[in-house]
Amino acid sequence: MEKKTVLVTGIGGNVGQGVLRNIQDLNWNIRLVGTNIEEFCAGNHLCDVTYRVPYAYEDDYITCIQKIVERGKVDLIIPTTDYEVFFLASNKKNITTVIAVSDKEVAENYLDKYLTFKLHLQKEIPFVISWLPSEFKDYEGEIIAKPRKGRGSRGIEINPKEPQLFSDDYLIQPLYRGKEITTAFYVKKDGTLHGIFTMERELSNGATSKSKTTSEFDEMIKNEIILKMIQIHGLRGSINLQSIVDEKGMIHPFEVNCRISGTNSIRHNLGFQDVKYTLQEYLYNEDPSKIEAQEGIAVRLLYDVIYPGATNEESLNNNSCNFKLY
């Protein structure tokens, strides 16, 4: 197999690190380039070479990515943060390699949760009602305030006393109690659905700490939500839908991430290998392999990347450094 080079962004976060581990697990002939806003991060030891880049919304981000593409002869970029998905989708013509992203318009709508609500309302696709703080009046029930644009679960406030005082960079949604489920689905290049995979999950500090597979809600989610989303056109690759299932069994979708999600490493080991499908389609121009999903439970733990004898972080930028996982 001819050697290829794949650039994975956001390697300081769990999404990017999961993508890197999944690629390594395939044992294909791939050189891994990683980027992050910090020069030294936990994903460095998983890459052959790493680069520090600006935030995606800064003026020189695209120029910086293009220089890395040219220097490293990059064959494919897999973005792993919401902002990078949008800005890379918006600048495809300025980057001389393949980028695994949805279309710009779709990425923009799913970067902003309020635009997501408006889009789904217009297309009659289920999504929880959402208000800008400036338009919020009364709601009989619990509410949650959260940033409109992707910051994971950071910046949220439950049952704020004066929700109207938030800026319109936030939105207000009803707060539903029940099972939180996360559904990954993969849309092939031709716009057809390859498959879906759902897990119940528990969160700690905004990230999944425990998860368990479930197929109980898949038919309803697929037919009432996902297939309708795909009909909008422009969605491609791995997408993540987050929902709450209340005590009556009603599904309340509240967020869409237009990218590979943070549980990709768990899915990979349970037969839904969306990183592999991405490589097959965008790197090798092959059809994605058959999904062989199985039931399973996962719990996450912390471990350390230790560089014995190291005194300078600047040199700890790739997998050739002397490190120990513990």
Return the C-alpha torsion angle 113, 114, 119, 124, nearest 10: 90
Q: In which element (H, E) is residue 208 found?
A: strand 207-213
Tokens of 91: 């600048």
What is the rounded CA–CA span in Å between residue 276 and residue 18? 12
Task: Name the CATH superfamily housing domain 106-113+176-299.
Answer: ATP-grasp fold, B domain (3.30.470.20)
Multiple choice CATH, 4-102+308-325, 1.20.140.160, 3.40.50.20, 3.30.420.40, 1.10.287.130: 3.40.50.20
pLDDT in tens, 272-308: 999 999 999 999 999 999 999 999 999 999 899 999 9
Domain ranges of the chain: 4-102+308-325, 106-113+176-299, 129-174
Encode pLDDT of 251-282 as tens digits: 999 999 999 999 999 999 999 999 999 999 99
Tell me the torsion sign for CA atoms 195, 199, 203, 208: negative
pTM for this model (two decimals)? 0.95
Per-residue pLDDT at 136 exceeds 90: yes
Residues 114, 203: Cα–Cα separation, whole Å: 23
DSSP string, 246-304: -TT--EEEEEEESS--TTHHHHHHTT--HHHHHHHHHTS--PPPPP-----EEE-----
| pLDDT tier at 151, thresholds 50, 70, 90 | low
Q: How far apart are CA 224 and CA 89, in angstroms?
A: 27
What is the rounded CA–CA span in Å between residue 6 and residue 20?
10
Give the containing element (helix H, strand E) for 184: strand 179-187
DSSP, collapsed to helix, strand or coil, labels residue 81 as coil
Question: By three-state DSSP, how is residue 182 classified?
Answer: strand
